[in-house]
Amino acid sequence: MDNILKKNTTIEKEIDDFLNQFSEAGLLFKSGVDIYLSGKKDRFQRTIDEITQMEHKGDALRRSIEEKLYRKTLIPESRGDVLDLLESLDALIDRFKGTLYRFDIECIEIDPKFHDDFKELVRNVVNASEALVQSSRCFFKDISSIANYMHKVSFWETECDKISTMLQKRIFRDTELRLSQKMQLRDFVRHIDKIADRAEDVADDLSIFVIKRSL
């Protein structure tokens, strides 16, 4: 029961590559926000290009995995759960990319006094997504170890909620900001925090997949 792929090395490697893409997208997202806050516009554009290419590669890997699962009739008892998991992870990569694009499109101005809080929020979002990656790896290869990582997704999501609430309070209590600025900053905080919320949703689905495999 430990290895759902039953030693099918070809698809196992593709799933490893896909999960690596997801993990690296999170790191690139964190780096992109740091670069944006530092005002390095050229480097930020390169980061957007990189994460866009990463998303395309992730899409291609997901489609290839799906095609192999159907064509070779692999793991029919868990195929639907695996496809749902891959699609949910792929959607999270798109959220990483989409958030960086929002920074680029809206050219939001973030006062340096909020930088540390934004960075901490992003850091914990990436921690949540990384815990989800580790949980997903265990689902495919070592399901008995999945509990070591699953609970961390919820932990980091809760930390994100705390930071998000605190940061929004700071923003709206700042007398130097116009209301329009406060609302734009709030929307960005919520948008970033939503990534962690979605990661927790995927982890909840994953926990159900684990229960189904144990029956």
- Give the whole-angstrom CA distance, residue 150 versus residue 157: 12
**What integer is the mean pLDDT of 78-103?**
93
Report the range of poorest mean pLDDT among 58-67, 71-80, 95-104, 171-180. Answer: 71-80
Nearest alpha carbon to residue 140 among 57, 194, 206, 88: 206
- Identify the residue with better confidence: 68 or 45: 45
Residues 79-89 have a mean pLDDT of 91
- pLDDT level of residue 173 (50, 70, 90 thresholds): very high
The length of the chain, given as a count of residues: 215
What's the rounded mean pLDDT across residues 94-100? Answer: 97
Q: Each residue of 61-82: pLDDT tens digit? A: 999 998 888 876 666 667 788 8
Q: Which of 10, 19, 17 is nearest to 69 (CA)?
A: 10
Alpha helices in 72-146 (DSSP H): 79-106, 115-141
CATH 3.40.50.300 fits 9-214, yes or no: no
Q: Where are the domains of the chain?
A: 9-214
